[in-house]
Amino acid sequence: MATISAQSVQKSFDSLEVLSRLDLEIQDCEFVSILGPSGCGKTTLLRTVAGLEKATSGQILLDGQPVTGPRPDLTLVFQNFRLLPWRTVEANVGYGLRLRGVPKAEARERVQQKIDMVGLRGYEKKYPYQLSGGMQQRVGLARALAIDPKYLLMDEPFGALDAQTRELMQEELLSIWADSPKTVMFVTHSIDEAIVLSDRVVVMEAKPGRIVDDIRIPFERPRSAVDIRTDPVFAELRQHMWGLLRHEDRPVAAGGAPGE
């Protein structure tokens, strides 16, 4: 089982309260998006679940175990890719496997499989600087999936990509997830992205960061992003979430929230 449970998690940086006694349950193999304006603490929440930040009070349980630091069965995908620039595509994808001491032959096979999966066959020997942003994030995704994690945490992974690449990547993520479901926590400030991808969308508000709504997304899986976008239910959900975010009267929220 791979469940995530945040229990009255509170986090402050100095005197600034970023998360205010927040509770959240994520089921095994559920895809949950955390949607909210900039500064609502959604990234802090994700980092706390990942063991990169410590909660000031409260706790996070993964499969019942309290989080004390990074775990081998959890990986992250970052908005700014974070590839090692001095390593080739295949070495970057194999990074987690190498750290875990997976035998070379097995690692090579798994790396190649993930590279094929994200459509980067032929780019194995390229260095990150030779790739476009979309390709770099494919490497980031393949790297995260290569260790076959139970938990996949994504922090605005497509936020730095152009609109078309972004939709393409969403489509690919849908099909990857359909093939091997994992417990996914997906932070985004795009309403569309959250609806298209998720089983549930958790909407947060800022100052202090808290959950204001938790919305089940009714679309059947396997999904097609294109079909969903033209569904009337999609428009309804979108309008509902937009209404929630609009409450935030600060300009940051208005600019960040509408999605693409």
Partner 1 sequence: MTSSAVAPVSTSSAGASPASPAAPPAGAPLRRSRNRLGWLGSEPVLWVLGLLLVPVVWHLYSMVNDDKLIVGPLDVARAFGDLTASGELFTAAQSSGTVLVTGLVAGAIPGLVVGILVGRFRLLDLVVDPYINAAFATPLVAIVPILIVALGFGVQAKIVIVAMFVFFPVAISTATGVREVPRDLVELARSFCAREYTVWRDVLIPGALPYIVTGFRLAIGRALIAVVVAEFSTSVTGLGFMILRYSRRFRMAEGLVPVVLLMIVGFVLFWALKRVEKRLSVWRATP
Q: According to CB under 8 A, which one of 64, 85, 103, 218 is a site residue for partner 1?
A: 85
Of residues 95, 151, 177, 234, which one binds partner 1 by CB under 8 A?
Answer: 95
* 233 is a site residue for partner 1 (CB under 8 A): no
Smallest gap, in angstroms, from Cβ of residue 174 to partner 1? 24
Minimum distance from residue 158 beta carbon to partner 1 (Å): 18
- On whether the CB atoms of residues 217 and 200 are closer than 8 A, the answer is yes
82 binds partner 1, rule: CB under 8 A: yes
| Residue 86 binds to partner 1 (criterion: CB under 8 A) | yes
Is residue 198 at the binding interface for partner 1, with CB under 8 A as the rule?
A: no
Site for partner 1 in 125-144 (CB under 8 A): 127-130
Provide the 8-state DSSP code for 209.
B
Q: What is the 8-class DSSP label of residue 212?
A: E
Q: Does 31 bind partner 1 (CB under 8 A)?
A: no
CB of 127 to partner 1, least distance (A): 4
Q: Which residues pair with 9 in a beta bridge?
A: 22
Which helix (H) or strand (E) is 154 found in, with range? strand 151-155
Stretch that binds partner 1, among 14-22, 96-104, 195-203, 213-221 (CB under 8 A): 96-104
What lies within 8 Å, CB to CB, of 84 at 6+ separation is: 91, 92, 95, 128
The per-residue DSSP string of 77-145 comes to: E-TT----TTS-HHHHHTHHHHHTT--HHHHHHHHHHHHHHTT-TT-TT--GGGS-HHHHHHHHHHHHH
Of 80 and 112, which has the nearer Cβ to partner 1? Answer: 80
3-state secondary structure of 31: strand
Strand partners, 151: 74, 183
Using CA of residue 21, residue 25, residue 26, residue 31, what is the dihedral sign? negative
Minimum distance, C-beta of residue 225 to partner 1, in the bound complex (Å): 28
Using CB under 8 A as the binding rule, the residues of this chain from 42 to 81 that contact partner 1 are: 50, 52, 70-72, 75-76, 78, 80
Report if residue 157 touches partner 1, rule: CB under 8 A. no
Q: Judged by CB under 8 A, does residue 96 bind partner 1?
A: yes
Instruction: Give residue 124's identity as a one-letter amino acid code.
Output: E
Contacting positions for partner 1 (CB under 8 A): 50, 52, 70-72, 75-76, 78, 80, 82, 84-87, 95-96, 99-100, 127-130, 147
